[in-house]
Structure 1
Amino acid sequence: MRRNAALALVTSAVCVLVATSVPVPANASRSDPADLLVKARPALLHSSPKDTYVRQGVIEGQGGLRYTTYTRTYAGLPVYGGDFVVVSGATGEVLSTSVSQDSPLDLATTPRLGPADAIRVARSQLPQVSSVTTPRLLVMAQGRGRLAYEVVVQGAANGRESKLHVFVDALTGAVAEKSDEVRAGVGNSYYNGNPVTIGTTGSGATFSMVDPVRRGVRCGGQNGAAYTGPDDFWGNGSGTSFETACVDVLFAIDTEWDMLKNWLGRVGFNGLGDGYPARVGLNDVNAYWTGSYASFGHTSDYQRQLTSMDVVAHEYGHIVFATTPGIDLGDNEKAILNESTGDILAALTEQYANEPAAFDPPDYIVGEEINITGSGPLRYMYKPSLMPGDPDCFTSAVPTMLPQIGAGVQNHWFYLLAEGTNPTNGQPPSPTCNSSTIVGLGARKAGQIYMGTLLRKTTSWPHTAARRASMQAALDLFPGSCLEYNTVKAAWNAVRVPAHGGEPYTCEFSVGVAPDTVTVQPGQQVSVTVSSSTVSRAPQQISLVAKGLPAGMTASFSPASITTGATSTLTFTVAASTAPGTYTITVLADGVAVDHTATVTLTVMP
């Protein structure tokens, strides 16, 4: 029963591509670093001679980062899964790329199947069909490519509306892939105390539950019209009141909107300052996102509406997933990560609101307030296996699980990233899958890294792609520091998500001393060179200290602090009173997140 509460999610519209005659971005700028990269290094994008690229737009992110998104055509046909993102810094340099495709395309583009046959196959995938779109011929970026028709079938399945994208192989008629814009999910709790402030609109003697500031945000009944009244006081505090449910919905939307802006640097749910309406009073033990509005039902005992802060924030979190780069269709594994995104943004909204224990305090438990079917919470982010069947760790079985179940892996990763294994702020401990110990970065910084991850999202988006993108996000958002990168990587390792191909970065450095064996007379000086190197793209600052000096000897560094890749001169000054002998001096290089040492063997002659 706990899986019956569906928090549905929707994708953004499929882009229409405009091909150019050469493999460079359409309308490319001669000076934009992302366009220059695409023009100069097509091999990085697994290009073929028949590829062209279309620049879709630029998303401004935190720290001055720019995320430029591109789509691809092959021989004039749209490529589903050929999209990519180029990330550039505030000073114009390209920092990283996120490429969905993994090999060049090479295929014939003449179909054997006709559009009518594609429609027939697509219609058979949905029990109740109300409309079918004209088939669109495209190339799927699978191996060397797969020619297919995309058909969108609208209707219903199991009593719930459906908008099913069916990809039909244009050569064999097999279903290559299908993805429903309305997907099942789960949610959680509700009331926020009395009174609360929400955005409403007044006109003369009539008021309505329409937010005057957050464009597109309104709440009402199942007919889609916003509730109205003769005054600006709403609801009676009852768990069964629809008007009260809208108070909770608008309060949660306002809070998540502010969290996205103030913590994650995103304006509106779609990044463009837009919000979306909500409807309450759904006659179902369910809540879901339809693609144009969110709809909220009731608990199985009819005692409460499913409009708590984390339920609402979860639903609207799907909008963020749908409106970040990458066509929001794809396989079940992407749906799992979408479901987890709703949980993550809901947890961040609770952290931002920081309500007292009497209402909905910040936690990482999904559904504890609504108790939707009387069996307790729906998910535990700090230890998913507390819900029988939910995985703490990634295995080959996870990508085929129901999204509500498989979401546990990324939820667990995010908890470790934010809070660590043994939090000191009252949050529960979180055991890892590799017995490691992790110190969390805090919810806000973890959220910033996850938003940077979503802004690198592409059409193909398994757990391993999210891992790689989050590591790149940490490096780009926090240059000069290894702490964030190392914690992101450690948290993925802790839930056993394997490394992704093309995961090029490590955030480490080494230190050395030359020469490492010197002699000196009492009363004299001797110098050695301390050098450091880094295999991280982002340099970090290192402080230098000498330890193990004998009595009467001092050491000085010039400079005392260096950036990785630079050198420092270490000078030993030996007093006349220093006893002759051979000493091992340790040079400590104190980095941002880790320390390293090198040794000098110094002999004081008689």
Structure 2
Amino acid sequence: MLIAIVSGPAPYAAQAAPGGRNGEMLTHLAAGRDGERLIRVGATAGPRGLTYHAYQRTYRELPVVGGDFVAVTDASGNLMGTPLHGRPPIDVDVTPYLTPRRAAAAARTRMPGASSVSEPRLVVFAPGTEQRLAYEVVLTGTSRNGRPSRLHVIVDARSGAIPVTWDEVLDGSGNGYYYDDTVIDTRRTSSGYAMSDPDRRGLFCGIQGNGAVTGPDDSWGSGSGTDLETACADAYYAAQQEWNMLRDWLERDGFDGAGGAFPLFVGLNAVNAYWNGHTVNIGHTKDNQRQLTELDVVAHEFGHSVFQYTPGGFDGYTETYALNEATGDIFGALTEHYAHHPADEPDYVYAEEADALGRGPERVMYDPSAGPRDEPNCWSPQIPDTEVHDAAGPANHWFYLVAEGSDPGGDKPSSPICAGGPDSVTGLGIRTAGRIWMTALLQKTSFWEYADARVATLNAVTQLHPGDCARFDTVRAAWDAVSVPAQAAEPGRPGTCGEPADSFSLDVVPGTAETDAGGTASSTVVTHTTAGDPQTVDLAASASRSASRQCSTLRRSSRATRPY
């Protein structure tokens, strides 16, 4: 099992708000938000002159955890969309009932053996529409299952309740492979050569506990699966290929978006590989005959750095971490396709070459349920309670559908469609799919969830390909095909596309309810017209009895095409 520790500094330093028309619009956005302050913490140039401005918020000088947002401007500086849509003005009492000491004690209950406890930080916790005064406490130590842990605990500053925790430590799994006859960029030294990149700032490969590998000539490795210099040559090649892919295909300047990379170390004495917020660390296979330096494994770990160094960082719920894991897999597939090395033909399976754990590929993007972990193909309300790698299944599945489609032909595997989805999805190609995902990441916020990713990718395709009906339809159909429901905040079909078929989304909360025989139960039905005109919805309830309890399930009967 691999552990990916994603920690580190915030990727951006605070900046002055943009001036001109965009500054005026943001001033307008702040109107009516008494006590709130918008702080620009980064700006990333995108394609077609687009700029993605990352913002944090404070409320009465307290940081707002989950209050970040991204404002998108076009080439003329005009604000696009409504970045604070669905985020009501903050209105909370900032006087805590709990003392910091009591908050720390409450947090400690989640990791009694913590080796260190941070000073509790008073914050406003406001992901989405939720708002509460809270303390954020960070516990460092070992979790109950024996893994390293850096656990964030939110403690309600009035009641002492703990509404959420999230851990910076991620589990992972992977494989290793060697690539012969590759060309890598190295640096000339006074005594020979070093595996240190002369152009990609910060990138070098070393053996655990040491600096860059050096040698008297510019030929690296022996071809042995246990030789660590050979492992460095493989991993270093993979990192450079991913960097080039980001530059050439996705228009991103380095792993951090500002021309920077991170060190890479091999020789980890574990069947493991991880990103720790600063470096990528690679171990060996279970039989200890190869190192875990396969292209998609290395690219997966560096993919976590891209996720960290885009707006919102990595803080969030289970779905945030699942989308982080999916991002690693997506960048792994993109890097394989970009490198197109004859010894590792491009595909959509992860860590298959060395079979480190003796069970074939660890993940199968075109059919996640076909992998050894039986990951879900489809989103469901159970995803937030699913292990993060397994919960990445629907996003991996979505990416394959956007890239290749449900029945691509040409010896590429078909991909199933979840119940209630479209009859088929037509792919756009992996490069286009990658640009859409990268552009969505530039609009990411903390506590990002599948619903947010759906909105962000639909915004991304309208920004990258304005008026392109086919591309928009594919991205939307792919989300429908993995059962992520339509969202009120998502953009509509481009106006030039003609009249779409009537369609709607529907949510029932809760979908099931238990009551004593003869009693009553209630659910709230929420509908959205997602295309065309409003439609009629027929609702029916069914009941199953056991002992003295009755379970009712509310279902719909209609001509809608959206799952719920």
**What TM-score do the two structures reach when normalised by structure 2?**
0.83
CA distance in structure 1 between the aligned counterparts of 2:102 and 2:428, rounded to whole angstroms: 53
Query: 2:150 is paired with a residue of what secondary structure?
Result: strand
Partner of 1:264: 250
| Distance change (3 Å), C-alpha of 1:371 and 1:216 | same
In the alignment, structure 1 residue 146 sits paired with structure 2 residue 143: no
Instruction: Return the match for 1:59 from 44, 58, 70.
Output: 44
| Distance change (3 Å), C-alpha of 1:310 and 1:340 | same
| Distance change (3 Å), C-alpha of 1:29 and 1:60 | closer
Partner of 2:441: 454
CA distance in structure 2 between the aligned counterparts of 1:230 and 1:449, rounded to whole angstroms: 44
In the alignment, structure 1 residue 238 sits paired with structure 2 residue 224: yes
* 2:12–2:42 contact (8 Å) kept in structure 1: no
Instruction: Return the match for 1:441 from 405, 424, 428.
Output: 428
Query: 1:312 is paired with a residue of what secondary structure?
Result: helix
| Distance change (3 Å), C-alpha of 1:339 and 1:252 | same
| Distance change (3 Å), C-alpha of 1:101 and 1:79 | farther
Partner of 1:578: none
| Distance change (3 Å), C-alpha of 1:364 and 1:113 | same
* 1:100–1:458 contact (8 Å) kept in structure 2: no
Q: C-alpha deviations, 1:212-258, integer Å up to 9, x for none?
A: 21111111122142222222222111111111111111000000000
Q: C-alpha deviations, 1:164-221, integer Å up to 9, x for none?
A: 22222212223232222221123344222x2212222221223222112111111112
For residues 8-47 of structure 1, the aligned pairs below 5 Å read 8-10=5-7, 12-13=9-10, 27-33=16-22, 35-42=23-30
| Distance change (3 Å), C-alpha of 1:32 and 1:160 | farther
CA distance in structure 2 between the aligned counterparts of 1:209 and 1:355, rounded to whole angstroms: 21
CA distance in structure 1 between the aligned counterparts of 2:130 and 2:387, rounded to whole angstroms: 29
Partner of 1:215: 201
* 2:206–2:212 contact (8 Å) kept in structure 1: yes
Q: C-alpha deviations, 1:244-273, integer Å up to 9, x for none?
A: 111111000000000000100001101001
**Gapped runs of 5+ residues in structure 2?**
501-564
Superposition deviation, residue 340 in structure 1: 0.4
CA distance in structure 2 between the aligned counterparts of 1:431 and 1:365, rounded to whole angstroms: 16
| Distance change (3 Å), C-alpha of 1:145 and 1:247 | same
Superposition deviation, residue 15 in structure 1: 7.5
CA distance in structure 2 between the aligned counterparts of 1:441 and 1:277, rounded to whole angstroms: 34
| Paired amino acid for 1:168 | V
Instruction: Return the match for 1:372 from 356, 366, 369.
Output: 356
| Distance change (3 Å), C-alpha of 1:127 and 1:212 | farther
What is the Cα-based RMSD across aligned positions, in Å?
A: 2.4
| Paired amino acid for 1:155 | G
| Paired amino acid for 1:249 | A
CA distance in structure 2 between the aligned counterparts of 1:152 and 1:335, rounded to whole angstroms: 17
For residues 309-348 of structure 1, the aligned pairs below 5 Å read 309-348=295-334
Instruction: Return the match for 1:117 from 102, 107, 122.
Output: 102
Partner of 1:601: none
Superposition deviation, residue 480 in structure 1: 2.9
Query: 1:58 is paired with a residue of what secondary structure?
Result: strand
Partner of 1:361: 345
Instruction: Return the match for 1:134 from 113, 119, 125.
Output: 119
In the alignment, structure 1 residue 185 sits paired with structure 2 residue 169: no
CA distance in structure 2 between the aligned counterparts of 1:479 and 1:185, rounded to whole angstroms: 37
Q: C-alpha deviations, 1:80-99, integer Å up to 9, x for none?
A: 11111111111332222444
| Distance change (3 Å), C-alpha of 1:320 and 1:65 | same
CA distance in structure 2 between the aligned counterparts of 1:160 and 1:232, rounded to whole angstroms: 39
For residues 550-569 of structure 1, the aligned pairs below 5 Å read none
| Distance change (3 Å), C-alpha of 1:100 and 1:141 | farther
Partner of 2:491: 504
* 2:364–2:370 contact (8 Å) kept in structure 1: yes
| Paired amino acid for 1:104 | P
| Distance change (3 Å), C-alpha of 1:126 and 1:225 | farther
* 2:8–2:278 contact (8 Å) kept in structure 1: no
Instruction: Return the match for 1:483 from 462, 470, 474.
Output: 470
Partner of 1:6: 3
Partner of 2:273: 287
* 2:30–2:37 contact (8 Å) kept in structure 1: no
For residues 242-253 of structure 1, the aligned pairs below 5 Å read 242-253=228-239
Partner of 1:464: 451
| Paired amino acid for 2:478 | A
Query: 2:250 is paired with a residue of what secondary structure?
Result: coil
| Distance change (3 Å), C-alpha of 1:162 and 1:203 | same
In the alignment, structure 1 residue 384 sits paired with structure 2 residue 368: yes
CA distance in structure 2 between the aligned counterparts of 1:371 and 1:100, rounded to whole angstroms: 46
* 2:183–2:237 contact (8 Å) kept in structure 1: yes
Aligned length: 497
CA distance in structure 1 between the aligned counterparts of 2:275 and 2:16, rounded to whole angstroms: 35
CA distance in structure 2 between the aligned counterparts of 1:66 and 1:30, rounded to whole angstroms: 14
| Distance change (3 Å), C-alpha of 1:246 and 1:127 | farther
Superposition deviation, residue 30 in structure 1: 4.1
| Distance change (3 Å), C-alpha of 1:72 and 1:101 | farther
| Paired amino acid for 1:31 | G
**What TM-score do the two structures reach when normalised by structure 1?**
0.78
Query: 1:334 is paired with a residue of what secondary structure?
Result: helix
| Paired amino acid for 2:344 | D
CA distance in structure 2 between the aligned counterparts of 1:16 and 1:186, rounded to whole angstroms: 33
Instruction: Return the match for 1:227 from 213, 223, 231.
Output: 213
Query: 1:445 is paired with a residue of what secondary structure?
Result: helix
CA distance in structure 1 between the aligned counterparts of 2:312 and 2:401, rounded to whole angstroms: 26
Instruction: Return the match for 2:404 from 419, 426, 431.
Output: 419
Superposition deviation, residue 77 in structure 1: 0.7
| Distance change (3 Å), C-alpha of 1:220 and 1:105 | same
| Distance change (3 Å), C-alpha of 1:262 and 1:510 | closer
Superposition deviation, residue 64 in structure 1: 1.3
Q: C-alpha deviations, 1:257-299, integer Å up to 9, x for none?
A: 0000010000110100110011111111111111111111111
* 2:422–2:477 contact (8 Å) kept in structure 1: no
| Paired amino acid for 1:9 | V
Instruction: Return the match for 1:278 from 264, 268, 272.
Output: 264
| Distance change (3 Å), C-alpha of 1:379 and 1:451 | same
With 278-287 and 338-347 compared, the bigger mean Cα shift is at: 278-287
| Distance change (3 Å), C-alpha of 1:159 and 1:294 | farther
Query: 1:373 is paired with a residue of what secondary structure?
Result: coil
CA distance in structure 2 between the aligned counterparts of 1:123 and 1:229, rounded to whole angstroms: 49
Partner of 2:504: none
| Distance change (3 Å), C-alpha of 1:154 and 1:375 | same
